[in-house]
Amino acid sequence: MNISLQNTGKRFNREWIFRKFNYQFLQGKSYAITGPNGSGKSTLLQIIAGATLHSEGEISWQKAEGNMQLAVSNTQLVPQIGGSKKQIKTLSQQQTENKKQQTTNKRETRNEKRTNEQPYQQISIAAPYMELIEEMTANEFLTFHSSFKTLTKSFTEILTTVGLEKAAEKQIRYYSSGMKQRLKLAQAFFSNTSVLLLDEPTTNLDEDGIAIYKKLWKENTTNRLVIVSSNDKVEYEECEEVIGIGGYK
């Protein structure tokens, strides 16, 4: 999925965090958003994810193949749906027109729902401010998560990859901060999505955890759009393009 931002801006009260942000993020490429603390890196990432509404401009999510597009301005959703209408044959012309209209209405309703949902189903994110359901075990959390997005590997393989296989049945509230971060990264990297958003992905990770992060990147970013929000070069050293958010004030 490709993501395009046109003259996008965000403000809180009277203070503009950033303005006139124009950029096209393409599937198969990786980008880093950098800037000092409080410059709006995380805010921009949340806007790209559709989790936070922007104050001006427009964002559009478009499949890398096909004709589905969803454009979001700062005031409304504008779904654009392509495709031909199916012809329906009946005994009378009036019945045909009535049935065609009913069928078209139902199809447009289904397509609009699918269009509105699809961009978000194609996005996975890991961020320090994400909440984990701490009463769940890791296996229960992955079961819950997989009801929303398909995972690319089995629970055992996922937890083994991030070094949590021995804690699979332990409640998350008993995890260290580093273990929780590994689980956040696991659900993001192993979700079957075309867009991967990472906000300060090595937060709370020790040396071994950083090595796991690099391994996850190497093995799970092919043909995905990856956007990293960070000030730490270790977290975005593999990114092809670096964007300084400070240039959009």
What DSSP string describes the chain? Answer: -EEEEEEEEEEETTEEEEEEEEEEE-TT-EEEEE-STTSSHHHHHHHHHTSS--SEEEEEEE-SSSS-EEEEESS-EEEE---PPPP---SSHHHHHHHHHHHHHHHHHHHHHHHHHHHHHTEEEE-TTPPP-TTSBHHHHHHHHHTTS-BSS-HHHHHHHTT-GGGTTSBGGGS-HHHHHHHHHHHHHTB--SEEEEESTTTT--HHHHHHHHHHHHHH-TT-EEEEE-S-HHHHTT-SEEEEGGGG-
pLDDT at 119: 77
**Backbone φ and ψ of 187, nearest 5°:** -65, -30
pLDDT at 141: 97
Give per-10-residue mean pLDDT for the chain (249 aa).
Answer: 95 93 96 93 94 93 66 46 40 56 56 54 93 96 95 97 97 98 98 97 97 97 97 96 92
pLDDT at 120: 79
Q: CA angle at residue 63 from 145 to 52, to 5 degrees?
A: 55
Q: What does pTM read for this prediction?
A: 0.80
pLDDT at 243: 97
pLDDT at 130: 92
pLDDT at 215: 97
